[in-house]
Structure 1
Amino acid sequence: MSLAVTTPAIAQKTPATPPKQAKPNVLIIYADDLGYGDLECYGAKNVATPNVNHIAQNGIRFTNAYAVAATSTPSRYAMLTGHYSWRRPDTDIAPGNAGMIIRPEQYTMADLFKSAGYTTCAIGKWHLGLGDETGTQDWNAQLPAALGDLGFDYSYIMAATADRVPCVFIENGHVANYDPSAPIEVSYKKNFPGEPTGKKNPELLYNLKSTFGHNMSIVNGIGRIGYMKGGGKALWKDENIADSITAHAIDFIKENADKPFFMYFATNDVHVPRFPHERFRGKNKMGLRGDAIAQFDWSVGQLLSTLKELGILDNTLIIVSSDNGPILNDGYDDHAEELLNGHSPAGPLRGSKYSLYEGGTRVPVIVSWPAGNLKKGENSTLLSQIDLVASFAALLGQRMPSGSAPDSFNRMDNWLGRDNTDRPWIIQQGYDHTLALRTPKWKYVEASSYPAMKPKGACVETGCAPVQQLFDMSQIYEDKNVATQYPDEVGRLHLLLELIRSCDYNELPPADMP
């Protein structure tokens, strides 16, 4: 499959000299729907996150760092490939039976680490498709195309998210704990005869009721998106998801403690349906969403304790972040809106998941590496997750194949706090593919016919308008469009966005190169 992107000469990455110390283990802890203001170290109210706080106190807490998109699938795709998701038509929020969105012929972050001698794994939420084609998977057999084809030596994943079927874990391309007495069938088109649904049988929603959508198949007393039959003993219980992925992550770390490893640990906690383990439920004044944040922090603590016990914490580079901004009512009646009690999930930012406003893509980013000589503390450098692939390549002294990660640039000195030079611009992608271009001073949002409020599902601001928008980013809350006052700046940023959209990096002035 052609990616239809020509990598210009300027985008080629020059390997850096590897550090003198042993190669660091690399652990990316990727939360789901965790907002800029959802962690205690970012000013969160009503929830304690001591383990994440500990990482922040001993590392770098970035205040101007971004996921690539305001929704999950495109954000994850871009981070793992260094290729903007909006360059592909098939990277929107994926159903649970989507075919592989990252194709086997693409070079991934896992391929990079594997080529550098690392053992690699992905654990937790995937949401980037499995198998060759959407809707053709045989969930009762080994999947012919899975994460092993993308550079991951080991994987224990959810095919999509907890609110989408199939509600089973996939281990190395095969349903974990497969139950041959309950063969699995999945459809996103029609229900299977005789199977109850949340819409027709709401009395069976004994764990969480739906507010909109999420009323198809019922698993564990919770309605889902999509239809599923079977699964038996392989079906997960939502309250055990965090325990399960954390246990598998710990096992992987212990098995590979004597050699460099790369782990992509993607949690589900804060994403709907929020149904944490009973030891967390009822402990937080914000209800289930607050309990879920506490459960996420617990998972982080378990991984930290394991690394410390094995004596490898000092030489483990840890990145804690999120795939997009927060959302409250996203389809389940968990009272997340009513129970905020003064908490602001996006902190001082406007917007949320799905939105082009800052709350959609500006996310917590914390970096720790005790042996890495980081410049610790709060850091306001502008940076984007799109650059992680090229930055890790530079750190490890690895040359990437020509044409790979075409939108990723080496900003490792930014990520390690050694250089506070801002990235000249970052790109933000909204729910409908409308783009915004953020510079240290300005934010330009292209004109869009998409409505100002998301028309279906969650009732949130999209950040879209039928006119071009320009915001002065010295004012953190985007409530004043100054495009008519600065037409020259609007024109310059519009042209810059079009050059980036065409992947014409060679045409960018030196000051605008990443």
Structure 2
Amino acid sequence: MQLRTVQVQSCAKRNFASVALRPLMCALLFFASGQVLAQSATQNVLVIYVDDLGYGDTGAYGHNVVQTPNIDRLAAEGMRFTQFYAPSALCSPSRAGLLTGRTPYRTGVESWIPDDSPVSLGDNETTFADLAKQRGYRTAVIGKWHLNGGLHMQDAPQPRDFGFDYQYGLAAWVKNATVRESPDVPRRGAMFPDNMYRNNEAVGPTQKYSAELVSDEAIAWIEGASDPFFLLLTYSEVHTPIASPRQYLEQYQHHLTQEAKDNPLMYYFDWRDRPWRGRGEYYANVSYMDAQLGRVIEHLRNKGVLDDTLIVFSSDNGPVTDAPLTPWEIGMAGETAGLRGKKRFLFEGGLRVPGIIRYPARVKAGRVESRPASALDVFPTLAKWMNVAIDPAIPLDGESLWPLIDGHDFKRQQAFYWSIPTPDGMEYALRDGDWKLIVDTQGAPQYLFNLGNDWYELNNLLETKPEVAQRLLHLYQVQRTAVESDPLALARQAQKH
């Protein structure tokens, strides 16, 4: 099949890359000149990415308290992965990986991005929204962005510069200045966000909690035109501050302590040095988020287009558990289903997350898939879906899941690779087959696990399996070298100098 280069529309309008960078940036996309997949022209795409939801936080993944009927139904009507991985154990890098199919250190995002930071997703990166836009989809990101220092920053790359026609949501997490700046101590008040933006213009004060605002906007945008749509729906729940309507708190009142019942609207940073509030607020926030994403799914069902929509659901990293390490983590109660670690760590609890794909034409309802996959695979999977070939000169770390989805043999060609600054100094991890190696910041191996019989990472085999450790260490070194010599990253560095 002959391939022809197509000028990428989003490249032409990006003001942040030099003329020298644009050819490299635009060279990523090629369109096949024939055999366009029928679904790419008519079917919708909905990628749902939620915040800090743990592997064990839903009914579909075994939680015996939290009610998540909509996520559970999504799993029952689609395929549920038992070994699905986030690109990182932190929010911003994980989102960078999801959008590009490239391990986050390639993209310019290594850790979470503070307010007003100059760090952003590399301006010469291509996202799956770029692919969709070139195939005629309406594109939107509705919800959390967190791939720059703020949606207000005029000199930073914004969603419109990565293929998104429409944007609504917040930069990082929910804020409310009235509550935060109250002179009363402890501070109190409903955390209705006042930091929402629509197409990078401030929305101002609101009167609903975040997830409902996001679902309202998503439904309105879906109704806005009849064209096929590509929607990245990114709820900020269940990240702190966890704030939910009263009806969800009442649902879990038996999991609230008297402290929480007596102080229902206390500002979450004022929870320090006060009695424990119980797990009910966390449980309520998961159910609230589930109900809101369920509204969007039911809207598609009622419109008669749900079965014509490819849906991918996952979380950006593992949960914040009830063992807080920082003040903002107090009151959380995320579940890893017993996996070791949590958000910010490279053990399974920080990386393994829920993963669901629903598309009845290709996915048998109720299927449970045990082969490992990653959110990095979403980009190449959608590229295949939209019949867009990827220039092999631009490294991808994900692989198309269509052979796996269609029930064919699927042998992953690359090892899984993660890198992130962690509190315990374990900066790198690599998984090849059942074997997982964790390496410290200096490049020295510290842990070796066989996940085939040790999901919970209890038996460190570093000393007893030296030949396996050496093989994985070599794979890690090769991958790290490749990431550090990434052509897009080097091009950005050259531009700065």
Q: How many residues align?
A: 423
- Cα distance in 2 for partners of 1:390, 1:326 equals 26
The TM-score with structure 2 as length reference comes to 0.76
The RMSD of aligned alpha carbons is: 3.5
- Cα distance in 2 for partners of 1:333, 1:352 equals 12
- Cα distance in 1 for partners of 2:395, 2:42 equals 22
Secondary structure in structure 1 of the residue aligned to 2:287: helix
- Cα distance in 1 for partners of 2:437, 2:316 equals 22
Secondary structure in structure 2 of the residue aligned to 1:26: strand
- Cα distance in 1 for partners of 2:483, 2:316 equals 27
- Cα distance in 1 for partners of 2:162, 2:372 equals 29
- The answer (yes or no) to whether the contact 1:13–1:410 under 8 Å persists in 2 is no
Which residue, out of 92, 103, 119, partners 1:73? 92
Instruction: Report the counterpart of residue 316 of structure 1 in structure 2.
Output: 309
Q: Please say which of residues 323-332 and 414-423 is displaced more in the overlay.
A: 414-423
Residue 335, structure 1, aligned to residue 313, structure 2: no
- The answer (yes or no) to whether the contact 2:320–2:329 under 8 Å persists in 1 is no
Instruction: Report the counterpart of residue 62 of structure 1 in structure 2.
Output: 81
- Cα distance in 1 for partners of 2:193, 2:145 equals 23
- Cα distance in 2 for partners of 1:317, 1:246 equals 18
Seen in structure 2, the aligned counterparts of structure 1 residues 67 and 148 have a Cα distance that, compared at 3 Å, is: same
Which residue, out of 181, 187, 205, partners 1:205? 187
Residue 301, structure 1, aligned to residue 269, structure 2: no
- Cα distance in 2 for partners of 1:106, 1:150 equals 8
Seen in structure 2, the aligned counterparts of structure 1 residues 124 and 415 have a Cα distance that, compared at 3 Å, is: farther
Shift of 1:240: 1.6
Identity fraction in percent: 29
- The answer (yes or no) to whether the contact 1:382–1:423 under 8 Å persists in 2 is no
Secondary structure in structure 1 of the residue aligned to 2:312: strand
Which residue, out of 339, 360, 383, partners 1:393? 383
- Cα distance in 2 for partners of 1:104, 1:504 equals 17
Shift of 1:399: 2.8
Deviations 1:429-455, CA, capped at 9 Å, x for gaps: 344371111122211111346xxxxxx
Shift of 1:262: 0.7
Within 5 A, what are the aligned runs for 1:131-146?
145-146=157-158
Shift of 1:302: 0.3
Within 5 A, what are the aligned runs for 1:91-102?
91-99=110-118, 101-102=120-121
Instruction: Report the counterpart of residue 205 of structure 2 in structure 1.
Output: 235
- Cα distance in 2 for partners of 1:297, 1:265 equals 13
Residue 380, structure 1, aligned to residue 380, structure 2: no
Shift of 1:388: 1.6
Instruction: Report the counterpart of residue 459 of structure 1 in structure 2.
Output: none
Instruction: Report the counterpart of residue 169 of structure 2 in structure 1.
Output: 157
Residue 272, structure 1, aligned to residue 262, structure 2: no
Shift of 1:422: 4.8
Seen in structure 2, the aligned counterparts of structure 1 residues 391 and 17 have a Cα distance that, compared at 3 Å, is: farther
- Cα distance in 2 for partners of 1:353, 1:380 equals 22
Residue 361, structure 1, aligned to residue 355, structure 2: no
Seen in structure 2, the aligned counterparts of structure 1 residues 300 and 233 have a Cα distance that, compared at 3 Å, is: closer
- The answer (yes or no) to whether the contact 2:75–2:356 under 8 Å persists in 1 is yes
Shift of 1:65: 1.0
Shift of 1:279: 2.6
- Cα distance in 1 for partners of 2:390, 2:414 equals 23
Q: Which residue identity lines up with residue 470 of structure 2 in the other structure?
A: G
Residue 496, structure 1, aligned to residue 475, structure 2: yes
Seen in structure 2, the aligned counterparts of structure 1 residues 118 and 374 have a Cα distance that, compared at 3 Å, is: farther
Seen in structure 2, the aligned counterparts of structure 1 residues 87 and 492 have a Cα distance that, compared at 3 Å, is: same
- Cα distance in 1 for partners of 2:52, 2:292 equals 16
Instruction: Report the counterpart of residue 144 of structure 2 in structure 1.
Output: 125
Shift of 1:94: 0.6
Q: Which residue identity lines up with residue 316 of structure 1 in the other structure?
A: T
Shift of 1:400: 3.6
Residue 41, structure 1, aligned to residue 34, structure 2: no
Answer 1 or 2: which has greater helix percent.
Answer: 2
- Cα distance in 1 for partners of 2:140, 2:434 equals 38
Unpaired segments of 5 or more residues in structure 1? 132-136, 169-194, 209-218, 225-230, 338-343, 450-464, 506-514
Seen in structure 2, the aligned counterparts of structure 1 residues 400 and 71 have a Cα distance that, compared at 3 Å, is: same
- Cα distance in 2 for partners of 1:129, 1:110 equals 17
Q: Which residue identity lines up with residue 94 of structure 1 in the other structure?
A: I
Deviations 1:117-147, CA, capped at 9 Å, x for gaps: 111000001111167xxxxx867xx778521
Q: Please say which of residues 467-476 and 45-54 is displaced more in the overlay.
A: 467-476
- The answer (yes or no) to whether the contact 1:374–1:418 under 8 Å persists in 2 is no
Seen in structure 2, the aligned counterparts of structure 1 residues 373 and 422 have a Cα distance that, compared at 3 Å, is: same
Which residue, out of 449, 452, 455, partners 1:476? 455
Within 5 A, what are the aligned runs for 1:215-254?
234-236=204-206, 240-254=209-223
- Cα distance in 2 for partners of 1:354, 1:416 equals 34
Residue 407, structure 1, aligned to residue 390, structure 2: no
Secondary structure in structure 2 of the residue aligned to 1:479: coil
Instruction: Report the counterpart of residue 458 of structure 1 in structure 2.
Output: none
- Cα distance in 1 for partners of 2:448, 2:67 equals 36
Secondary structure in structure 1 of the residue aligned to 2:389: coil
Instruction: Report the counterpart of residue 438 of structure 2 in structure 1.
Output: 445
Deviations 1:462-498, CA, capped at 9 Å, x for gaps: xxx9753111112111122111111111111111111
Instruction: Report the counterpart of residue 371 of structure 1 in structure 2.
Output: 361
Deviations 1:46-94, CA, capped at 9 Å, x for gaps: 1111111111111100001101100000110111112221235553211
Seen in structure 2, the aligned counterparts of structure 1 residues 493 and 298 have a Cα distance that, compared at 3 Å, is: same
Seen in structure 2, the aligned counterparts of structure 1 residues 107 and 409 have a Cα distance that, compared at 3 Å, is: same
Secondary structure in structure 2 of the residue aligned to 1:320: strand
Shift of 1:246: 0.4
